[in-house]
Amino acid sequence: MPFAPDEIRSNTACGIGADGHRHGWFDVSIHASALRRLGLHPDQPTADVTGASPPRWWHATAERDAHQHPQRPLPKQAPCLTS
Report pTM: 0.42
pLDDT at residue 80, rounded to an integer: 59
pLDDT in tens, the chain (83 residues): 578 888 999 998 888 888 888 888 888 888 888 888 887 776 766 666 777 887 888 888 888 877 775 655 655 655 655 54
Domain range annotation of the chain: 1-47
Distance of alpha carbon 75 from alpha carbon 11, whole angstroms = 10
